[in-house]
Amino acid sequence: MQSFGRRPRFSVSKPMSSEATLQITSMADIFTIILVFLLKSFTSSTLNVTPSPGMELPQSIGGSPPVDALMVEISETGVLIDNELVSELKAFRFKGKDLDGNGLPRDLESTFTRQRKRQQLIAKSNPDVQPDSKILVMADRRVPYLTLKSVISTAALHGYHDLKLVVVKQE
Amino acid sequence: MMTGDGGAGPHGGQNQDFDINLAPIIDCFTVLITFLLASASFLAIGIFDSSVAVPGANDSNAKAVPVRVDVELNTNFEMTFKLSGAPSAKKGDANGANYTRKLPPVRSGWNTEQLMKELETVQAKWPGAQSMVLSAADDVEYVHIVKLMETLRPKMPNVMLGGF
C-alpha cells in the first residue's frame, strides 16, 4: 500500500504536562530595553519645568532646551514665582487693589526684590556666582499682553531682563 | 540567584550548567518601569530667547545699527511697522526716511508676509539690523506674540518685548 507519510488521523496525542513553564528570558530583554530608554530620557532633563494643571502653554516648532533660572508662572488665577503663589489674578488680570501707582503689582515687586537680594547675598559669599538676569516666563497662551507687560516690566526693574519664554514643542 | 547543583564548593558537583532565576529581576524591572513611567513628563518643553526693550539691556546691537524697528500688534489683527533712527532721513527720501506703516489684517490674521517684506527692505539697507522691538495692545493674547516671534525668528533673531 502506498504511504503518503501522513500522520494517522486518530493518533493518540501525547498527554500535556500540567506544569507549564513561562519563557521569561525574552520578557527580561524587553524590560531591559524599556528601562534603559526610560532611564536615558529621565536623566537627560535635569530641569523640572512642569506647568500647573489647566495651563495651556503656547506651541512652537522651534525652541532651545530649558535653562536653570528664576521661574515665573502666569496662570488664569495667579502669578507664581518658583512655584510659590505671589499674586492672585482674576481671569488672567491683576486686581486693581494689587497694583501700585505705576500699575505694577506690589506683591510681585517685593518678591523680585527678595529674590534679587538673595542672589546678591550668594554672589557676595561666593565670587564664582554672579547675579543672574535670566528669567523663565511660563505663561498661559491666553494671557493678555497687559498682564505679561506688568510682570516682565517689574522683573526688568529688578534686573531680570533676559527673558526665556517657555513653549511646548510641536512634533 | 542560581539554582541547580552547580557550584565549586567542596560538596558541590562540577556541573556548571545552571539557570539564572529571572523572576526577581522581572519583578524589579516592573517596579522600576512603573515608577519611571509615572514620574516621566511627556511634554517637550522649548525656550524662546527674548529680552526686555529697556536702556542698558542688549543695546550692543543698537550702537552698531542706527535704525530701530518697532512692530506693534493691535487688537483687530492690524500691525503697525515703525522705522526710526534712519540717518539719511531727508525730506522725500522714501528709502532713508523714518516711516510708520499700518499692515492691515489678511484672512482674519496677522499680515506676516507684508511684515517680512518690510523687514527685508530694512535689512537690505542695513544688513546689521537683526533686532526689533515687539509690543502689543493690552488685550492681545500671549500666543500671538509667540507665534509672531516664531515666524520672524529666521529673519530677525533678536526680538525684544516693549511697550512699557
Measured CA to CA, the distance from residue A93 to residue A70 in angstroms comes to 22
DSSP class of residue A6 equals P
Nearest one of B38, B19, B42 to B30, comparing CA atoms: B38
First to last CA, chain B: 69
* Residues of chain B contacting A, Cβ within 8 Å: 22-23, 25-26, 29-30, 32-33, 36-37, 39-41, 43-52, 54, 57-58, 73, 135-143, 145-147, 149-150, 153, 161, 163-164
Chain B residues within 8 A of A25 when measuring between CB atoms: 22
- Beta carbons within 10 angstroms of residue B101's beta carbon: 12
Measured CA to CA, the distance from residue B157 to residue B149 in angstroms comes to 9
pTM of the prediction? 0.75
Residue scoring higher pLDDT (A17 or B132): B132
Decide: helix, strand or coil at residue B35: helix
In this complex, the residue of B36, B48, B58 whose CB is nearest that of residue A165 is B48
Tally the C-alpha atoms within 13 A of residue A99's C-alpha that lie toward its C-beta: 14
Chain B residues within 8 A of A51 when measuring between CB atoms: 43
Please identify which residue in the block is written with the cell numbers 530595553. Answer: A33
Burial class (CB in 10 A: 0-12, 13-18, 19+), B19: exposed
**Mean pLDDT, chain B, as a whole number?**
80
Measured CA to CA, the distance from residue A142 to residue B69 in angstroms comes to 26
Q: What is the mean pLDDT of residues A136-159?
A: 92
Residue B44 to residue A38, Cβ atoms within 8 A: no
Residue of A nearest to B29 (CA): A31
Which residue out of B48, B60, B72, B149 would a mutagenesis test of the A interface target, given it has the greatest number of A Cβ atoms within 10 Å?
Answer: B48
Residue B150 to residue A60, Cβ atoms within 8 A: yes
Reading the block at residue A13, the C-alpha cell is 496525542
> How many residues make up chain A in this entry?
171
Chain B residues within 8 A of A145 when measuring between CB atoms: 73, 135-142, 145, 163
CB B149 within 8 A of CB B135: no
Torsion of CA B88, B84, B104, A152, to 10 degrees: 160
E-only strand ranges, A57-161: 59-60, 70-74, 78-81, 84-90, 93-94, 134-139
Split at pLDDT 50, 70, 90, the class of B80 is: very high
Measured CA to CA, the distance from residue B61 to residue B64 in angstroms comes to 5
The interface predicted TM-score (ipTM) is 0.75
**What pLDDT does A44 receive?**
59
Q: What's the pLDDT tens digit per position in A42-75?
A: 755 556 777 888 889 998 887 788 788 889 999 9
Split at pLDDT 50, 70, 90, the class of B135 is: very high
Measured CA to CA, the distance from residue B39 to residue A39 in angstroms comes to 11
Give yes or no for residue A110 having a pLDDT over 50: yes
Give yes or no for residue B90 having a pLDDT over 70: no
